Structure 1
Amino acid sequence: MFAPLLALLLAGCAALPGQGPSAISITADEIESGTTEANYATVTLDRNSARSIQSYRPVTFAQRFGEIGSRGRNSVLGVGDGLVIGIWEAAPDGLFSTATGKSVQVPTVIDQSGFIFIPYAGRIHADGLTVEGLRTAIEDKLKGKAIEPQVSVTVQNNASNSVVVVGDVAKPGQYPLSIRGSRLLELVAQAGGAREAVYETVVTLKRGHRSGTARFEDLIDYPENNIPLVSGDNILLSHKPRTYSAFGAVGQTTLVPFKTQTVTLAEALAQVGGLKDFFADAGGVFLFRYEDAALVRLLRPDLASSVSGETFPVVYRLNFREPQAFFTARAMEMRDKDVIYVANHPTAEFGKFLQLIGPLLSNVNTVNAISN
């Protein structure tokens, strides 16, 4: 009577309730061997992989926009620009001479058709010209009319070369680009900077049909991401606090906000109570995250041909049975939306099985005692 019952219970042992997959389920042979049937890559977190992760420079944001430079374009005049044209003559009885001097200042704006109007010179096409090009064009128009004219052009309002900065900034608004070229951090600084903590701020740049997002601190830590801007760019700063999740055999399954700029894996585990006694598999600590595809190819060269897109899901495995793992966990920094999972130890599943069949064994013993 007891043997058939035990066989039935053993057959259903795999269906016992659990906190998640076992360590062997995550690092199955077909995944470790290089295939991507599970649509994620597994990486053993050790000294070498941690060093590669730390030295990697996330510049996807720069690669998306960096090829479009702004230098040169911002020195070109456009519709809506406000100008001040200064005209000097060599004699006091010239066209632009007055009782107080031999010069005049003419304020003007480039109209919708791209022209400005200068007395005695008429309509002059200015849209698309540089400041020097417009200055030369005005002088040429005045030759033979004014006495040895000398002209200066000052840009008073660079409306045609501007960007919009909105969101969680101190002074949202429209800001002109400098003639020498302006970069992303410069415009954010002109707008008063981020209102919230830098490490909790995300920058989104919209350029035509393109858009890209980066953590504000990545613009500072990796200067390549501080890209040149072009006219018409829209910049949005958003307050997005970082969090990570912890599941499985940990002291507390919860969503944890970042309280400091950097949080290591060791600190993250400590904040959720560490590994749970009598349940946790010290060799089955996992970190789930999306990594840049370039980093995945660096960590797993055997998957280079299978990794596509800008990001790819990665599962890092850390074996706390090895002393070196504690130093690796101290060096590994957490990122926004990371997921920590600690698998149950196989003996914990057996303990559940014993708890399940314990009452049944007691009933069998009682029946046997009565029968005897």
Structure 2
Amino acid sequence: MRVFTVLAVAAALTGCAALPGDGPAAINITSQDIESEQSVADYTVIKIDSSNIETIKRYRPLAFANQFRGVGNGGSSTLLGVGDTLSVGIWEASPDGLFSDKDGGASTIPAVIDESGSIFIPYAGRIRAAGLSVEGLRQSIQQKLVGKAVEPQVLVTLNQKLSSTAVVVGDVGKPGVYPLPVRNTRLLDLVATAGGARQATFETVVTLKRGNRSGTTRLEHLIDYPENNVVISPNDNILLSHRPRTFSAFGAVKANQLVPFRTKSVTLAEALATVGGLNDNKADATGVFLFRFEDSDLVRSVRPEVASKIAAHTQVPAVYRLNMRDPSGFFLARHFEMRDKDILFVSNHPTAEFGKFLQIIAPLISNYAVVSSVTD
């Protein structure tokens, strides 16, 4: 009778989650209360199935582009500014003119717009240049030379637009301050001008700081998602950092560990294989979970019933669930791509908890048997 008492007490402890474990059971993560009330658990559970895998695959992460939408003037100004370097060519109709040489060619005068916004041209004096276009400055110089030079013709060439610059530092080939040409310069253009990344693109992140705004994305996302390749504005600061990607594996897998990405892309199937697959003695094949902070726009697409509770253009905690007991789960795992800092967790099967329970009560039963034998 005492044996049954011991068993009853131990079973009660098991039901109260008193047994040790390496994480929540599948039923704890996907209970009806938590799935229906996001405010209770502060995360959203998304079941990976054939109805949403294509949406998840095709999603374009544009959080980086959204950070700078409407911020900045969208490129370098077409007007001249302090620090710009120029070349001013002057031709005259007569070989005896002020700027003519013996071969009848033009005189080329280098000029830099000084801190007062002006340049100096012989016989024309100081001429206001800052705030003018190249053509506007050309006309101004030519007008100043009328009556002094013989039918002057002027050509102004912009050499370097040092009044509009951006800084590129970090893991690039040639860090430094780079002038922005009059045409729109995009982020990837400037990274290429600075010599490109020293490390693999999928292991490099780029951070753009513009005023009070800052955004970070993988360098490869500038190519994969062209919307993220934003136009650079004057005074932007760009930092490239080598940041290898990793994911963590916990629970009923054969190796709980931190795993680095070895290739550009790693699928969920490959991630499970890397850690040795599911533990046959413990794993609940219906409870394979992946934890990550997901773009709210994607969560709203695959879980429209909770869309009203999630603000747009934010990051929200999401838990993806995959049923590997269903053969289709293996195909779905092939199409689901891992991301940096993902957490992979496989829950224990209920029978594994029962096995722990037996290990705990085995000494009690054995001691009771010895005591009973001595008593008898």
Q: Normalization by structure 2: what TM-score? A: 0.94
Q: 1:322-367 CA deviation, whole Å, 9 max, x = no partner?
A: 1110000011011100010000001110111011111111222233
Aligned to 1:155: 158
Aligned to 2:237: 234
Whether the 8 Å CA contact 1:34–1:302 is kept in 2: the answer is no
Superposed displacement of residue 26, structure 1: 0.8
Aligned to 1:317: 321
Aligned to 2:274: 271
2:334 is aligned with 1:296: no
Superposed displacement of residue 137, structure 1: 1.7
Q: 1:64-93 CA deviation, whole Å, 9 max, x = no partner?
A: 224357667342211111111111122223
- Which of 365, 369, 373 is 1:361 aligned to? 365
Alpha-carbon spacing, 1:220–1:122, altered in 2? closer, same or farther (3 Å):
same
Whether the 8 Å CA contact 2:291–2:319 is kept in 1: the answer is yes
SS of 1:317's partner is strand
2:246 is aligned with 1:243: yes
Alpha-carbon spacing, 1:250–1:102, altered in 2? closer, same or farther (3 Å):
closer
Q: Normalization by structure 1: what TM-score? A: 0.95
Aligned to 1:345: 349
- Which of 297, 318, 332 is 1:328 aligned to? 332
SS of 2:154's partner is strand
Whether the 8 Å CA contact 1:71–1:180 is kept in 2: the answer is no
Superposed displacement of residue 8, structure 1: 2.5
Q: 1:300-339 CA deviation, whole Å, 9 max, x = no partner?
A: 1122222236211100000111111000001101110001
Aligned to 1:170: 173
Whether the 8 Å CA contact 1:139–1:149 is kept in 2: the answer is yes
Uncovered stretches (5+) of structure 1, i.e. residues with no partner: none
Q: How many residues align?
A: 372
Deviates more, 1:54-63 or 1:134-143: 134-143
Indicate the percent of aligned positions where both proteins have the same amino acid. 59
The alignment yields a C-alpha RMSD, in angstroms, of 1.6
Superposed displacement of residue 11, structure 1: 2.4
How far apart, CA to CA, are the structure 1 residues paired with 2:56 and 2:327?
Answer: 20
How far apart, CA to CA, are the structure 1 residues paired with 2:182 and 2:206?
Answer: 24
Deviates more, 1:21-30 or 1:304-313: 304-313
Whether the 8 Å CA contact 2:75–2:231 is kept in 1: the answer is no
Aligned to 1:124: 127
How far apart, CA to CA, are the structure 1 residues paired with 2:12 and 2:171?
Answer: 58
SS of 1:24's partner is helix
2:195 is aligned with 1:192: yes
Q: 1:142-190 CA deviation, whole Å, 9 max, x = no partner?
A: 2233222211111122211221111111111122222222111111111
Aligned to 1:137: 140
Alignment of 1:63-74 (within 5 A): 63-68=66-71, 73-74=76-77
Superposed displacement of residue 102, structure 1: 5.3
Uncovered stretches (5+) of structure 2, i.e. residues with no partner: none
Whether the 8 Å CA contact 2:167–2:176 is kept in 1: the answer is yes
Whether the 8 Å CA contact 2:67–2:215 is kept in 1: the answer is yes
Whether the 8 Å CA contact 1:170–1:193 is kept in 2: the answer is yes
Superposed displacement of residue 116, structure 1: 0.9
Aligned to 1:62: 65
Aligned to 1:5: 6
Deviates more, 1:158-167 or 1:100-109: 100-109
SS of 1:12's partner is helix
Alpha-carbon spacing, 1:72–1:277, altered in 2? closer, same or farther (3 Å):
closer
Whether the 8 Å CA contact 1:90–1:102 is kept in 2: the answer is no
Deviates more, 1:143-152 or 1:293-302: 143-152
Whether the 8 Å CA contact 2:127–2:141 is kept in 1: the answer is yes
Alpha-carbon spacing, 1:73–1:187, altered in 2? closer, same or farther (3 Å):
closer
Q: 1:76-134 CA deviation, whole Å, 9 max, x = no partner?
A: 21111111111112222333223332531111110111111112222222112221121
Alpha-carbon spacing, 1:72–1:330, altered in 2? closer, same or farther (3 Å):
closer
Deviates more, 1:269-278 or 1:115-124: 115-124
Superposed displacement of residue 34, structure 1: 4.2
